[in-house]
Chain A
Amino acid sequence: MQNELKLRWLIIEDDFMNVIEVKNLSKVFKNNFKAVDGITFDVKEGEIFGLLGPNGAGKTTTISMLCTLLKISSGEAKICGYDVDSEQSEVRKCLGLVFQDTTLDDRLTARENLELHARLYGVPKEKRRKRIDQVLKMVELEEKENLIVKTFSGGMQRRLEIARGLIHYPKILFLDEPTLGLDPQTRKHVWEYIVKLKKDYNMTIFLTTHYMEEADELCDRIAIINNAKIIALDTPKNLKNSLGGDTIILDVNDKDIEKALKIYKNAKRFDGQIILSVKNAGKQIEEVLEKCRKNKIEVIEANIRKPALNDVFLKMTGREIREENVDLKEQLRRRSRGGFRGH
């Protein structure tokens, strides 16, 4: 009896904790192009969830549907329990958005942009000033608040947009390629803000990216999207572990190579190096070196390589995520999502 109650409570809690629920979501454009093909996932409250994939995989289309900018073709999506198709206004109130391209009014000052945003989202007058000060401080733009946005660098504009997305205290913050085109230093900066938001405000963050290290560093869970479909969804760690563990690379003396290959039957030889696949390289490297010493194999150098997300993507799709990988199909998709003709 008590167990049953507990179980039911758990189910309710579980329901409550999913702030984004997506079921079989699809988008077919007018030219019959399927940009998103039956994707399903949930995002929990307070989670940093990443949608990772190459350019043109359907990331922006997905985000546009979730934030009510694009009409969904089929399937279902709920944000904070509100349906993105039938309860648009409610959905819009609970999310903040930072787009891939800037959406600031560049003839206005930073503060004016924030002020307009606060008004559009109905932030009460007495709270506006305080919140604007707060977000400006957070992105370290308080000294530039009265400058026209046109004079801002790309990094400053992005920071201002992140600040703007936070003024109405959204439950979920959507970031579409938040660090695209930013220099490495600013990118690190933006990452810090994102982590801080999660830590300090328990904010749910949904981001898209095609940078592997960004997804790896930031996200609690990652959905890998390729050709409009989600092909993997898990924590970065599990995704990498799914490759079967780490790699130990031994650079041994040429005369000992044959001997080493006899001992390690599963090892591969590559350019005078011995490559071993192991579960946990950190623990096992001692053993390996010890064994080599015993068998009088001279090890010149030993390296450990942890699997990277790149390897995961490579294994699943047979190609790497790269900027240059824009084939004809992807160009088509870019074109069709570029305009305002979604509906």
Chain B
Amino acid sequence: MGEIEGIYTVWLREMIRYFRQKERIISSLVMPVFWLLIFGGSMRSSIDIGNVDYKSFITPGVIAMSLMFTSVMSGISIIWDKEIGFMKEMLVSPVSRLSIVIGKALGTSTTAIIQGIMVMLIAIATGLHISIATFFLVIPVMLLISLGLVGIGLSIGSVMNNVEGFQLIMNFLVMPMFFLSGALFPINNLPTLLRIIPYIDPLTYGVELLRYMIVGVSSIPFITNFLIVSAFSTLTITLSAWLFSRRH
């Protein structure tokens, strides 16, 4: 009971902070809109991807991008809490370290899902066709994907004490992870030698999972995607919980 309340409290705080920064919500939608409308619209004929048009093809990729950039913010949030001192307030409370991590993870995931849904709505408004059932089924999948990415952010945030260092690491990790994931191009189009790279990028399986659900096509079977994404999320969340408890 106490721990559930603790998790809820940490989550609640993330929500209050998120909704208080309206300008951040708006600005985080600029990139996805750019990709969807400009790239998705203009590159229609330049890439051959079977029966699917390019805009539909990259919609899951852009959703994944949104999930990713929002999720790794969990790391900044931890570092920021240390900076303003609020971390101490949580650490000396009776709530366990594990609950703090879970609360943080769920909080950031929730914001990531909200971003993801907004991107999906923009895509629908500009011509994407999906059923209502699919729309609601995508949400738990978004949660699964974002938890894995939140775990990366929390793990790095747990061992770092300044925002600059975190951003440096993130640039070396997030950007390659996104561009190599097949979010923007079909991985089967890559030369055989390079094709191995997307397969070692965990985000690839997330993108493929979303693509299967939203567009109905994927290069990798659904079940493989699902299992790998689940395993990855379990791994990073466990790692972040361990690192956080050890370091604080």
Binary interface profile of B, 156-172, with partner A (CB < 8 Å = 1, else 0)? 00000100000000000
Q: List B contacts of A116 (CB < 8 A).
A: 9, 12-13
The 8 nearest A-B residue pairs measured at CB: A103-B85, A120-B93, A119-B9, A103-B89, A92-B94, A103-B88, A105-B86, A93-B94
Q: List B contacts of A120 (CB < 8 A).
A: 6, 9, 89-90, 93-95
**B49 CB, nearest partner CB in chain A, Å:** 44
Report the stretch among A14-22, A106-114, A135-143, A250-258 that lies at the interface.
Answer: A106-114
Q: Count chain B CB atoms within 10 A of each CB in A97, A99, A120 and give the residue with the most.
A: A120
Query: Are B248 and A119 in contact (CB-based, < 8 A)?
Result: no
Tell me the chain B residues, 65-93 only, with Cβ under 8 Å from chain A.
82, 84-93
Q: Does chain B have a CB within 8 A of A271?
A: no
Q: List A contacts of B88 (CB < 8 A).
A: 69, 99, 103
Q: List A contacts of B13 (CB < 8 A).
A: 105, 108, 116
**A200 CB, nearest partner CB in chain B, Å:** 24
Q: List A contacts of B95 (CB < 8 A).
A: 120
Q: Does chain B have a CB within 8 A of A134?
A: no
Tell me the chain A residues, 157-202 only, with Cβ under 8 Å from chain B.
none
Binary interface profile of B, 6-23, with partner A (CB < 8 Å = 1, else 0)? 101100110011001100
Q: Does chain A have a CB within 8 A of B230?
A: no
A–B Cβ pairs within 8 angstroms, 16 of them: A69-B91, A89-B96, A92-B93, A103-B88, A104-B86, A105-B17, A106-B84, A107-B21, A120-B6, A120-B9, A121-B94, A122-B1, A122-B5, A122-B6, A341-B247, A343-B248
- Please report A residues at the B interface, Cβ cutoff 8 Å: 67-69, 89, 92-93, 95, 97, 99, 101-108, 112, 116-117, 119-122, 339-341, 343
Query: Are A102 and B5 in contact (CB-based, < 8 A)?
Result: no
Q: List B contacts of A67 (CB < 8 A).
A: 92
**B14 CB, nearest partner CB in chain A, Å:** 11
**Do most interface residues of chain A lie in helix, strand or loop, or is the interface mixed?**
loop
- Our pick among B12, B17, B21 for the contact of A119 (Cβ within 8 Å) is B12
Other contacts beyond A89-B96, A340-B87: 14, CB < 8 A = A69-B92, A92-B94, A103-B84, A103-B85, A103-B86, A106-B84, A108-B13, A108-B17, A119-B9, A120-B6, A120-B90, A120-B94, A339-B161, A340-B247
Q: Does chain A have a CB within 8 A of B2?
A: yes
**In the complex, A268→B5 CA distance in Å?**
68
Query: Are B8 and A104 in contact (CB-based, < 8 A)?
Result: no
**In the complex, A341→B84 CA distance in Å?**
17
Q: List A contacts of B92 (CB < 8 A).
A: 67-69, 92, 95, 97
Closest to A108 in B: B16
Q: A107-B20, A108-B13 are in contact. Are A117 and B246 (CB under 8 A)?
A: no
**In the complex, A343→B93 CA distance in Å?**
18
Q: List A contacts of B6 (CB < 8 A).
A: 119-120, 122
Q: List A contacts of B161 (CB < 8 A).
A: 339-340
Closest to B13 in A: A116
**B129 CB, nearest partner CB in chain A, Å:** 40
**B102 CB, nearest partner CB in chain A, Å:** 14
Query: Are B94 and A104 in contact (CB-based, < 8 A)?
Result: no
Q: A339-B161, A340-B161 are in contact. Are A117 and B82 (CB under 8 A)?
A: no
Q: List B contacts of A101 (CB < 8 A).
A: 85
Query: Are B247 and A119 in contact (CB-based, < 8 A)?
Result: no
Q: List B contacts of A95 (CB < 8 A).
A: 92
Query: Are A102 and B85 in contact (CB-based, < 8 A)?
Result: yes
Query: Are B94 and A99 in contact (CB-based, < 8 A)?
Result: no
Binary interface profile of B, 140-184, with partner A (CB < 8 Å = 1, else 0)? 000000000000000000000100000000000000000000000
